[in-house]
Structures are given as C-alpha cells and as structure tokens.
C-alpha cells in the first residue's frame, strides 16, 4: 500500500462535538416543548446528516416546518454554542495529527459546515496541519454520498489506493468506502452500536489507529 494521504473526519473522530449538536437541536425544538435526554438523542443521531435529522424530527413530531429551515436554524445555533463552549478534542487527536502531518498529506473531510468546523480547528491550532478541507458547504452531496471524499482525492491528485480515511460512524464509513478508500473506524460512545462491519480496520482510539497505519507502511 503506497499510502500518501490520511483523510480525517471531524465530528466524533477528532472533536467530541456531539454535545454541541445536541444542545443546538434542543434549542431548535424548544418552542414545541420537545426534549430528549442527551444520551438517547446522540445515540440515535450520531453521524446522521443534519438535514436528515431535521426530516426525521419534523415528521416524528409534526413540526410542520421545512427540514431545510430547521437545519439552517440548527447550524446557526451550533456556531453560537461553539463560540461559548469549545468542544473537547478526542483522545490523542492533537498528538496523532502532529505526527501524521510529518509523514503524510492530511485532509479534513467533514459533514459540518465551514462555520462550524473552522473556528474549532483554529481554536486548537490544527487548521494549518491540513492541506485541504472539504466541508458540507463544498459539495452538492454530503456524506454518506462519496462526493466529499472523491473531491478531496481529486484535489490532492491521488487515487483511492493512495489514501486512507479515518471515521467514527456508519454514515462516514459509507461515504469513504463508496469512494473506494480503505478505512479505519474509531467508534465513539454513541456510534459503537452502529454497523461498522465494512471498515477495513476497527480500533479503540486514535493512538491505535496510528499504530495500525504504521503497520501498513
């Protein structure tokens, strides 16, 4: 395997941002007096694109709102929440990114918007480590469609066999595998019950992911 690039997911892989998404959605649902406990909501919607989550919530609770409008409101609220409460990095994230950037080209491929992802990356001074960043704003079809990963590969002038994706959810895994990439999945607390059987490798944390990569080169 001639590995030249590592393509990282963002939410749940590098950053523990589920609580911010949860808090944002609870603010959206508050006018209808709808509330979920954090664990059950994050277990259900971890890795689910915001538009899809909006459609599910809209139909389930009869909100009579366009899913696009709910999604736009949630995304705006996420930026506000993140400005006051920066999400924590996942274990070993900063160390692994620093090490990986010395050996490989790094790209970020995320289902978050630029307004959601870039301030968090800048806060932790991680933005400069990525040669290319693909956000939801940059594609017509977000994950689980392969377009985000295919776009990153095209920009980096690489074939799928020259790169590896690191993901945490079934949605991200579907996107990466559909783009032809080998994958390492690092399940988080909310995604560990999802079907991750299509992953090339499944490990417990980012440190173990890095050890797996070292065995491949």
Residue 62 binned pLDDT confidence (cut-offs 50, 70, 90): very high
Distance CA 183, CA 199 (A): 5
pLDDT digits (tens, 9 = 90+) for 107-153: 999 999 999 999 999 999 999 999 999 999 999 999 999 999 999 99
Q: Is 212 helix (H, G, I), strand (E, B) or coil?
A: helix
**pLDDT of 18:** 85
Distance CA 108, CA 5 (A): 11
Residue 1 has pLDDT above 70, yes or no: no
Q: How many CB atoms lie within 10 A of CB 3?
A: 17
Of the candidates 94, 128, 130, the residue with the CA atom closest to the CA atom of residue 15: 94
Residue 103 has pLDDT above 80, yes or no: yes
Residue 104 has pLDDT above 70, yes or no: yes
Sign of CA dihedral 35, 36, 42, 45: negative
- Average pLDDT rounded to a whole number, residues 51-63: 96
Q: Which residues pair with 134 in a beta bridge?
A: 109
The torsion defined by the Cα of 92, 98, 99 and 105, in degrees rounded to 10, comes to 120
Residues for the chain: how many in total? 217
Enter the pTM of the model.
0.90
Q: Are strands 88-89 and 15-16 parallel, antiparallel or unpaired?
A: antiparallel
Residue 86 binned pLDDT confidence (cut-offs 50, 70, 90): confident
């Amino acid at each position: 395997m001639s590995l030249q690039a590592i393509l990282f997911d963002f939410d749940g892989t590098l950053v523990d941002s589920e609580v911010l998404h949860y808090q944002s959605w609870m603010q959206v649902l508050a006018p209808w007096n709808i509330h979920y406990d954090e664990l059950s909501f994050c277990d259900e919607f971890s890795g689910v694109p915001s538009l899809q989550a909006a459609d599910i919530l809209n139909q389930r609770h009869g909100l009579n709102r366009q899913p696009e409008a709910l999604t736009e409101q949630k995304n705006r609220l996420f930026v506000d929440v993140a400005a006051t409460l920066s999400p924590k990095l996942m274990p070993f994230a900063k160390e692994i990114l620093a090490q990986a950037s010395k050996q490989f080209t790094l790209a970020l491929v995320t289902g978050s918007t630029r307004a959601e992802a870039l301030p968090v990356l800048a806060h932790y001074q991680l933005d400069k480590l990525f040669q290319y960043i693909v956000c939801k704003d940059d594609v017509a079809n977000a994950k689980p469609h392969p377009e985000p990963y295919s776009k990153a590969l095209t920009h980096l002038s690489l074939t799928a066999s020259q790169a590896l994706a690191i993901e945490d959810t079934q949605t991200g895994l579907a996107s990466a595998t559909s783009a032809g990439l080998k994958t390492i999945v690092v399940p988080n607390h909310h995604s560990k019950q999802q079907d991750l059987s299509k992953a090339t490798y499944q490990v417990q944390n980012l440190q173990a992911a890095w050890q797996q990569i070292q065995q491949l080169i």
